[in-house]
Structure 1
Amino acid sequence: MTKTRRRKLKILGVCGGNGVILHPLRRYVIGNIEDRGVFKTPKNLQWYTNFKVPFVDDVMVAGFLFKKVDIVIGAPNCGSSSILGFTGNKKRKNPTDDPSMKMYFETVLKYNPKIWIMENLPALLNHITMQDFKEKFPDYLFVFHTMSMAELGNSQKTRKRLVIVALHKSLPAEVYMAFSQVEPQAEPKRIKDLIGDLEKDNPKLANVREPGKYKIKMGKKAYSMNDIKVTWDENLKGKKYWPMDFEKKDSPYIPGVYRLLPENFPQTVRQDARQFRPDGKPMSPRELARIQGIPDKFKLYVPEEVTHGKKPSYYINRARITVAKGAPYELGLWVKEKIKVARKFL
């Protein structure tokens, strides 16, 4: 008896960044629609370093390239729902007004996939309620997970996320039950175990950082990377946080600035150069990637010559953004396991 060959699954990234969440599923990925400038690199080389399928920035263009889509996966902007976003903007914005959120929903309505998955911040549900989702997409059943990414095995216990899974009502209860369960995909690790072997620079791994003379603002004052290292080593020895004003005894700490200590679990990674190694150096893109659960086989595009040439900070920061603004890698691994259950029904 001839065995029927199974049709290849088609997964489309929408607001998939540079593909961290898609990488575990890359054999099925047919493309990514991403119009946010922070993820762009010259010739989109960061994307094409890991994927050989189209990276486009327009739903209409995507319509010519992708005719059928089984699953949509992505993480539209969530900054307006975040604590830091609120601090900067003073006023919360409605996420439905965000272009990336609009593009995500537009694509889902266009393709009507069997499954779509969105990663965001829990505060999103303050603006778009569970009932709103159910009314907007009546053909789907929803699973909402609000959890620390440590539940999936990521090392960031402080990284809390909302994962929305929409399952077409034509799918059986078996698929719904599978996506309702959360299992760890890895073992959380402490800083010493995550980055202990990355003390020396390695351009091939994107384990590089800004030169010592490079300056950044820490509060109201600009410091060189060399000065920052000395300050951590001497004035803040053994400390995790950086005070806004060194002259004031009870000065509050600068939000989002911290040093990781060897015996601790990591805090939530950020996209800028204000997280530091135990030795006081800024975290490299690869070190942040390790914390995000991203394996070294996921390549970060930092041309070797830029570490001692022009614009070293541009490529290093783009690599950091690829890592920090993407979903933790374990989420992609979890989706991969659930798709194994759903596969025969797609």
Structure 2
Amino acid sequence: MKTVQDFIQHVEPHSFEKPLRVLGISAGNGVILYPLYKDSNFKILGNAEVRPNYYFRKMPVQWMLNFPESPFYPMLPPVKDVDVVIGNPKCGAYSNFGNFQERKDFSKMGMNEPSLANFIDGVNSLNPRIFMMENLVKINEGVNLEEAFPDYHLLQIIGSVSMFGNSQLTRTRLVLVGLRKGYERFEKDIVPFRVNSIMPTGELLADLPDNGHWVPSMEDLIQIYQGVKVSYQDAKQYWIDNPHRYQWFMPHPKKEGKILTAPGVYRLKEYDFPMTVRSGGKQFNPDFIEMSGRELARIQGVPDEFTLIEDLRKPAYSDTKNKVTVCSTPPMEIAEWFRQILTKLEVNGLFNSEPTKEEIKPKKVKKVKKTKRVKRNKKIKRVKRNKK
């Protein structure tokens, strides 16, 4: 499994005059900031996170393990001179799976989601030269992004995360990059590219480390869907008896409006590319065992050096926490891509140049020449009026 240093070695070395000041806002467990944290050209000022699921026993343990020198804020901090803002506000309610669970109406949601409102407020108040936000494409149905960021020229990169080098071909995302108005000339430098080669599930899950890789007892129970629990052994037997299936079929009769498969419950196959990981689902590995936090992290591109929570007193609880935080984060390939983009922009002068002040000249409206036919019709009408 590649580490962050493997990615960094692929980029031509370049030292900035001074480190860029980066603030995470609604940046979750910090995966989206980790490649920048490992690069001395960037200074992580901290992460302002309002979501409670990133706290373990009322403490941001996972953040503290991986970012010991950067603070974790429960609200927007009083920082100044921020060059870059990065975040991934909550997007579950905009997903098909989240919509199925909560029956959300996107058009009525707007900016009521606290982590999203936190991100928008932070960008508009701190006024960085550039920001990046990862979310679902359907956020456009609930939020007018142009109105949310009035001082920014927005670029929307939409598509499978495989365009950045992550192996989840089915995971479609919106990567929103905002350039402060006056710096639109740097738009040409912001293009998607792969920072890693995509791999099938078997290769991704090879040689797992101990940290974060907890294997449950086969006698323990797992809830497949509401009201239905089975043992891990029975779940394994289900997949063995149905080798060609990758979804869990529910045993109720086919009725109109009824779904036939358990939402978010599926099995990955060794030689196929992994499907989209979901924090609220149950994913099984090719060996028919529910995937651990570390396995899900591998699929998300998170390197093994990124420490996951391990509580030996409550291993199942800490593993569940890891799954939620790892699945909710953007793939790390997006973070590494943006690190390389920022390096390119710094070289090209984004952070040491002044904005352009181009006056928008009103366009001259050309008068449409009347054709002979139009003129002839007007003459005929005049003649008729005179006769009357």
User: With structure 1 as the length reference, what TM-score do the two structures score?
Assistant: 0.88
Change (3 A) 1:209 1:247: farther
Q: Describe the superposition over 1:135-163 as per-residue Cα deviations: whole angstroms up to 9, x where unpaired.
A: 44332211111110011111000000011
- Which residue does the alignment assign to 2:327? 324
Q: Tell me if structure 1 keeps the 8 A contact 2:31–2:329.
A: yes
In 1, Cα distance between equivalents of 2:149 and 2:48? 21
Equivalent residue of 1:245, what SS?
coil
Aligned to 1:210, the other structure's residue is in SS state: coil
The 3 A distance-change label for structure 1 pair 159 and 341 is: same
Shift of 1:301: 1.8
Which residue is 1:150 aligned to?
Answer: 162
Aligned in 2, Cα 1:232/1:340: closer, same or farther, shift over 3 Å?
same
Unmatched tracts of structure 2, length 5 or more:
1-14, 352-388
Report how many residues are paired: 324
- Hey, what's the Cα distance between the residues in 2 that align with 1:92 and 1:134? 21
1:185 aligned onto 2:201 = no
CA distance in structure 2 between the partners assigned to 1:334 and 1:297 by the alignment: 19
1:256-335 equivalent positions in 2, closer than 5 A: 256-272=264-280, 274-303=282-311, 306=312, 310-335=313-338
Structure 1 residue 54 corresponds to structure 2 residue 60: no
Map of 1:196 onto structure 2: 206
Q: Which amino acid aligns with 2:291?
A: M
Amino acid corresponding to residue 172 of structure 2 in structure 1: K
SS at match of 2:121: helix
- Please identify the structure whose Cα radius of gyration is greater: 2
1:30 aligns to 2:45 (yes or no): yes
How has the CA–CA distance of structure 1 residues 275 and 19 changed in structure 2, closer, same or farther, with 3 Å as cutoff? same
SS of equivalent to 1:227: helix
Deviation at 1:38, TM superposition (A): 1.1
Identity %, equivalent residues: 34
For 1:251 and 1:40, the matched residues in 2 are separated by 34
Matches within 5 A, 1:132-281: 133-171=145-183, 173=185, 175-179=186-190, 181-198=191-208, 202-203=209-210, 205-219=211-225, 220-233=227-240, 235-245=241-251, 252-272=260-280, 274-281=282-289
How many Å apart are 1:218 and its aligned residue? 1.4
Instruction: Please point out which of 85, 105, 115 is paired with 1:72.
Output: 85
For 1:96, which of 103, 111, 128 is the aligned residue? 111
Post-superposition CA distance 1:172-227 (Å, at most 9, x none): 61x21111x111111111011111333xxx53x21113332332221331112222
| Residue deviations 1:228-279 (CA, integer Å, cap 9, x gap) | 122222x32342111111788x982112111111111000011246100111
- Aligned partner letter, 2:66: N
Residue of structure 2 equivalent to 1:107: 122
1:17 alignment counterpart: 28
Between stretches 164-173 and 287-296, larger displacement belongs to: 164-173
Q: Is the 8 A contact 1:81 1:95 kept in 2?
A: no
Measured on the aligned residues, the alpha-carbon RMSD in Å equals 2.2
SS at match of 2:19: coil
Decide whether aligned partners of structure 1 residues 137 and 252 sit closer, same or farther in structure 2, where only a CA change above 3 A counts.
closer
CA contact (8 A) 1:206 1:300 kept: yes
SS of corresponding position for 1:122: coil
Please give the secondary structure, in 1, of the residue aligned with 2:289.
Answer: coil
| Alignment check: 8 A CA contact 1:10 1:69 kept | yes
